[in-house]
């Protein structure tokens, strides 16, 4: 009599889910396209300004890229240029760091507590539509020095995008996750550490990225209005003395600094959320 084996075949190993950033690098062709787009924009700018094109937009008064590059080389040898960059970075990073801490905590609080939501949410919704740069007179009245006022404006600009993104991210978490932790005996702090914070991280970093961009807009505007130094102040000063190449140098500097800081936030977000499935991956590749 033949005996039939009842031993099940060995299960095939299940491959781990793809994680964010695992083995993904931009293809060299994509880098070529990115660099080509920048070079194309520079060439178009050079042609429009060198040819003095005056259609519905006048390019005859705009400095050429070569003139801006020459001015950039000139100011790069001036220590004041780097002092302005350092001062703007101190202001932006201080205000942004404060906004990140307060915005994330406030977003979690209003999303998790109906009492705090009823108390704080109406205040947030009334103040949120006010442009942060419109608070310059208030900052002048509240703070004895311009430095604290500019940091306050930067904080306000970044606070609301971070708050709103965190609140929505926490509110969108599936309740079954929290129920599972509570079923295993987890308390409020366990739920916060194991469910709320990890689950809301993608939304939180989305708000941080937006907040960084808005912060740069407002800190530069505040420096132009009430600053004594910084990239924004130096750019506005160049405009008042009709030094247009220096104005463009300031704009380029602002753009590079804004891109670098926003990219740093997105890179940190990808590193912190490496455990997420690849379908949740976002940001710059």
The pLDDT tens digits for 174-192 are: 877 777 777 777 777 777 7
> How many domains does the chain contain in total?
1
CATH number reported for the structural domain that contains residue 75 in this entry: 1.10.3720.10
In a domain, 282, yes or no: no
In a domain, 36, yes or no: no
Burial class (CB in 10 A: 0-12, 13-18, 19+), 12: exposed
In a domain, 106, yes or no: yes
In a domain, 263, yes or no: yes
At 80-113, the pLDDT tens digits run 999 999 999 999 999 999 999 999 999 999 998 8
First to last CA, the chain: 64
Q: Which domain holds residue 78?
A: 61-273
- Categorize the per-residue pLDDT at 24 as very low, low, confident or very high, splitting at 50, 70 and 90: low
In a domain, 167, yes or no: yes
In a domain, 283, yes or no: no
In a domain, 195, yes or no: yes
Q: What is the distance between the alpha carbons of residues 116 and 133, in angstroms, rounded to a whole number?
A: 27
In a domain, 259, yes or no: yes
Instruction: Quickly tell me which residue has 């920048």 as its tokens.
Output: 38
What pTM did the predictor assign? 0.79
């Amino acid at each position: 009599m033949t005996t039939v084996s009842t031993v099940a075949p060995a299960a095939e190993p299940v491959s781990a889910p793809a994680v964010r950033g695992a083995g993904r690098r931009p293809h060299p062709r994509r880098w070529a396209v990115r660099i080509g787009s920048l070079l194309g924009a520079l060439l178009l700018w050079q042609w429009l300004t060198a040819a003095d094109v005056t259609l519905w937009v006048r390019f005859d008064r705009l400095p050429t890229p070569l003139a801006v590059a020459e001015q950039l080389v000139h100011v790069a040898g001036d220590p004041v240029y780097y002092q302005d960059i350092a001062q703007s970075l101190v202001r932006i990073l201080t205000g942004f760091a404060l906004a990140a801490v307060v915005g994330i905590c406030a977003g979690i609080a209003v999303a998790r507590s109906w009492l705090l939501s009823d108390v704080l949410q109406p205040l947030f919704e009334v103040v949120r539509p006010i442009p942060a740069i419109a608070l310059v007179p208030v900052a002048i009245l509240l703070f004895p020095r311009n430095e604290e006022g500019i940091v306050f404006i930067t904080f306000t600009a970044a606070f609301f995008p971070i708050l709103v993104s965190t609140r929505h991210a926490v509110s969108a978490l599936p309740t079954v996750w929290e129920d599972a932790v509570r079923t295993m005996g987890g308390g409020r702090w366990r739920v916060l550490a194991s469910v709320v914070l990890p689950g809301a991280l993608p939304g939180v970093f989305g708000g941080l990225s937006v907040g960084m961009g808005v912060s740069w807009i407002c800190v530069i505007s505040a420096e132009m209005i009430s600053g004594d130094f910084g990239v924004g102040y130096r750019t506005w000063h160049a405009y008042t003395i009709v030094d247009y190449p220096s104005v463009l140098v300031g704009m380029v500097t602002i753009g590079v600094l804004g891109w670098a800081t926003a990219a740093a936030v997105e890179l940190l977000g990808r590193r912190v959320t490496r455990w997420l499935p690849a379908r949740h991956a976002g940001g710059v590749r």
